[in-house]
Structure 1
Amino acid sequence: MSDPELAIDAERFRRSFETYFAIGATENDGLHRLALSDADATVRDQFVADLEALDLAVTIDEMGNVFGRREGSDPDADPVLIGSHLDSQPYGGRYDGQLGVLVALETLRAMDDSGIETTRPVEIVNWTNEEGSRFENPMLGSGVFTGNVDLEAAYDLRDEEGNRFVDELERIGYRGETPCEPRPLHAFVELHVEQGPILETHGNAVGIVEGIFGIAWLEATIEGHADHAGPTPMHARTDALAAAASAIDEIEALPSHLSADAVATVGRLNVEPNSVNVIPSRVEFTIDVRSYDDAIVDTAVERAIAEVETASERIGADATVEELWRIPHTDFSPTVCETAAAAAEAVGVRAERMVSGAGHDAKYLNDVTDAAMLFVPSADGITHNEAEFTPWDDCVAGARAFAETTLRLAA
């Protein structure tokens, strides 16, 4: 077993974090760096420059995933892959995603500082379009890499302005030539902010993530009839928004009838004609349901669809519900989880076992290799928000546990 002497340079780590945060920083200390935007191009350039400064072999695949390889003493051994993503939510937090990339970068720098030669190669990665906020298919780069998403389907995704993913990838200069496809890996480890309150509540600096919730995304459409808000009697209305409001109220209450961990969210609502004195004729809204139990997710989907249909039928409106995306729950590698737990103990970091309610690139990587995650606390559980915050001491503690985990996996 390795000697836990891999020293994280906390000040260098902080400087890197501030440098990356400045690219796309908002006035409220958040981050607005959407996938394949100009800000994303700039931060990618910074990342490549930092990899080249470490003399890593840099490759960019056809999805724009950026890899840097540090050779080991056995170049034929399957590598340990570490990293996360640099894209952000619209006006989101400065820790989500990029902290994991920068912890991985600091791990490689610390290895160089200590003159450590691992047996296995170690590779770092920035995955493309993890958030799925601009191009609506989350964990897209890792999804194509692992064979879960078709490359051409990914290329054809469009943002709200109609821009195609592949055109924007080419525009920023990050459509690489390396095939985006599975290859032999020894393990994948990703650090991320928890995006929940558990670690802070329990007073622990690190979470050893043993799995990820199953998730389903739906889009409901209710078709009513537009009429004047004044002359049309209440009994004669087919108000699509009124039906949507009734369905949303029932969907929000669903989890309390299903399980302790189930959650349901309506996150986006589009109303037509969206005029103050016109009865709404059409409403589209999204539904996000999650649980660690896939059967609960199945039930939640069925119940949500039924609520939309019932609310629509009640007023004589038409309704359709389309499933946009679904992933089953994930059980991470016990071997990698045990390695991470032992590493945290070795460097004196308080850790606990937990599962994630959010999706991450590690979910897809778990399909092609042994994978797991480390979490660091989120203050007040706030995330996908400019107020997102993780105390710097916890960032450093997470980096220390992560670096030791990487070292042990690559030994």
Structure 2
Amino acid sequence: MKNALEINGERLWDTLMVSGQISPGKSTGLDRLALTDGDRAMRDVFVGWCKDAGCTITIDPFGNIFARRAGRDPQAKPVVIGSHLDTQIAGGKFDGVLGVLSGLELIRTLNDLGIETKRPIEVVSWTNEEGVRFQPPMLGAGAFAGIHEAAWVLGQTDPDGIRFGAELERIGYAGSERRDSADIDAYFELHIEQGPVLEEEGLHVGIVTGGFTSLGAEVEFRGENAHAGPTLMRDRKDALVGAAVLIAKVNEIGWEFAPKGRATCARLEISPNRYGIIADRTVVTVDVRHPEASETEQMYRRAMDVLPIIAKQANVEATVKKEWRFGGLTFDAELVNLVRTVAAEMNVPHRHLLSAAGHDAYHVATVAPTVMIFTPCRGGVTHNESEHIELHYTVPGVNVLLNAVVRRANA
């Protein structure tokens, strides 16, 4: 594309590597859970970078950070770019982080080139996208979009019983500036693919047209403590047996709906979790996903319908404590077309994709025109410390983001 704008790739990479040293994991990745000291340290660095780039910072009551670069028309709704800076407990350096820091690099590039846009451009870092410490995931974006009530979000607790709102206060990111979710012209989110398609097909950009429908639940089994030796099998009320049978059933459901369907139980709590004693309580998470909403619903019903049977078999009580859903949406056709047009004009190899993962963009899409851009990651590996990207196959996607955002901001 004639006169296409280009980011400073080395600067973006250096910024990513600084982030990659904040709250490191056990090997090559990160362990930067939401609202921990590591999260605070990363937030502080990010805010400092944004201020240095001339941005105005606002923080809402859920800790979402908005960094605004002014436009020529101060009354115009902003074009927003965002993702998250928190990571999995054994996460990589790029999941979420690339999207936020690409937005920062976009602003730095416009500053370098002295380019003004009609609309303001904002970069947002959403709170608790991963949902590791506080459930469900995408809490900050969900609160912003009105998916969750404010008091409910602030009252969520981590495994140690610590409140979301209290931790926001502790780390100094309980903001007071409420944002109007309708005050967005368009939302762009760049993210590593978290899958192997782009790498396998030698493409630099995935234009995300929508997401899998994802349904989840937290199921509690309650039994009774007893000695693992003397207690007769007929007298046992083993909560761990209930969880184990459900885990096996959910895995079976995933295989029945494969290859498009995916199902797992990713988290298990056991009490008292000690040798020689039958568990009196377990909590297990159920996660089912499929590109077709009707198929996801069927998978979920299959998992929930078996709970009474499992409870009877294990002689325990089964209760669904929480339920959630996300995805199952189509992103804005005009923005999808804009990204496709820019990628084609820039001769960047691309294709359309659906996302099987959860993203903040799903919630934002309920209140504003939204699109996502995927860039490749090696082997599709993610939520793993070995997650890896290369600058040369990432920069083209960030350049597409830059040119698409500027075009939208000047419309």
* C-alpha separation in 2, matches of 1:239 and 1:358: 33
Amino acid at match of 2:155: D
Opposite residue 321 of structure 1, the aligned amino acid is V
**Identical columns (%):** 39
Tell me, yes or no, if the aligned pair for 1:344 and 1:404 is still in contact at 8 Å.
no
Letter in 2 for 1:331: T
Q: CA RMSD in A?
A: 1.8
Whichever residue aligns with residue 69 of structure 1, its letter is: R
Structure 1 gap segments, 5+ residues each:
none
CA contact (8 A) 2:238 2:315 kept: no
The aligned counterpart of 1:22 is 21
CA distance in 1, matches of 2:236, 2:64: 51
Deviation of 1:4 (Å): 4.5
TM-score using structure 2 length: 0.94
Equivalence map 1:162-201=2 (5 Å): 162-201=161-200
Matched, 1:333 2:324: no
Partner of 1:346: 345
Conserved 8 A contact 1:4-1:346: no
| Distance change in 2, residues 1:165/1:237 (3 Å) | closer
After superposition, give the CA deviation of every residue in 1:312-342 in whole Å (9 maximum; x if it has no partner): 2124332222343223511100111111111
1:281: which partner in 2?
280
Partner of 1:410: 409
SS in 2 for 1:51: helix
**Alignment partner, residue 240 of structure 1:** 239
- Determine the C-alpha separation between the residues in 2 that align with 1:45 and 1:100: 17
Distance in 1 between residues matched to 2:238 and 2:170, nearest whole Å = 43
Deviations 1:54-95 (A, max 9, x none): 212221222221112122222222211012111111121110
CA-CA distance at 1:157 after TM superposition: 1.3
Q: Report how far residue 104 of structure 1 moved.
A: 0.7
Q: What residue identity is the alignment partner of 2:405?
A: T
Instruction: Give the stretch that moved more between structures: 277-286 or 29-38.
Output: 277-286
Partner of 1:79: 78
Alpha carbons 1:51, 1:68 under 8 Å: kept? yes
The CA deviation string for residues 92-127 of structure 1, in whole angstroms up to 9 with x for no partner, is 111011110111111111111222122222111111
Whichever residue aligns with residue 310 of structure 1, its letter is: I
User: What SS does structure 2 have at the residue aligned with 1:331?
Assistant: coil
Residue 133 (structure 1) aligns with: 132
- C-alpha deviation, 1:244, in angstroms: 2.6
Aligned length: 410
Q: Is the 8 A contact 1:85 1:128 kept in 2?
A: yes
- For the 8 Å contact 1:221–1:319, the answer to whether it is kept is yes
1:279–1:168 Cα change, 3 Å: closer
SS in 2 for 1:330: coil
C-alpha displacement of 1:3: 4.8
Q: With the length of structure 1 as denominator, give the TM-score of the two structures.
A: 0.94
1:270-309 → structure 2 map (5 Å cutoff): 270-309=269-308
> What amino acid sits opposite 1:352 in the alignment?
R
Q: Find the counterpart in structure 2 of residue 221 from structure 1.
A: 220
SS of 2:306's equivalent?
helix
Aligned equivalents of 1:222, 1:175: Cα separation in 2: 35
Equivalent residue number for residue 112 of structure 2:
113
Instruction: Tell me the equivalent position of 2:395.
Output: 396
Q: Deviations over 1:244-291 (max 9, x none)?
A: 322221210113334642211101112233222223333221111112
Checking the alignment, whether the CA contact within 8 Å between 2:215 and 2:300 is kept in structure 1 is yes
For residue 67 of structure 2, what is the aligned residue in structure 1? 68
**Equivalent-residue separation in structure 1 for 2:277 and 2:166 (angstroms):** 39
The residue identity in structure 1 corresponding to 2:79 is V
| Compared CA separation, residues 172 and 280, structure 1 to 2 (3 A) | closer
SS in 1 for 2:44: helix
Contact in 1 for aligned 2:236/2:315 (Cα 8 Å): no
Q: Is the 8 A contact 2:204 2:350 kept in 1?
A: yes
Range with greater deviation from structure 2 (157-166 or 322-331): 322-331
Q: CA deviation at 1:363?
A: 0.7
| Distance in 2 of aligned mates of 1:71 and 1:258 | 49
| Contact 2:242-2:311 within 8 A present in 1 as well | yes
Stretches of structure 2 that go unaligned for 5 or more consecutive residues are: none
Match of 2:265 in 1: 266
**Equivalent residue of 2:103, what SS?**
helix
Q: Which residue of 2 aligns with 1:230?
A: 229
- Amino acid corresponding to residue 122 of structure 2 in structure 1: E
What is the SS of the residue equivalent to 1:192? strand
Any residues of structure 2 matched to 1:365-376 within 5 Å, and which? 365-376=364-375
Corresponding residue number in structure 1 for 2:144: 145
Q: Distance in 1 between matches of 2:363 and 2:3?
A: 30
Deviation at 1:400, TM superposition (A): 1.2
Deviates more, 1:179-188 or 1:373-382: 179-188
CA distance in 1, matches of 2:168, 2:135: 15
Matched, 1:254 2:262: no
| Distance in 2, Cα, partners of 1:224 & 1:42 | 42
Tell me the secondary structure at the aligned position of residue 321 of structure 1: strand
Q: Note the C-alpha offset of 1:366.
A: 0.8
How far 1:377 sits from its partner (Å)?
1.4
Say whether 1:311 aligns with 2:302.
no
What is the distance in 1 between the residues matched to 2:291 and 2:104? 31
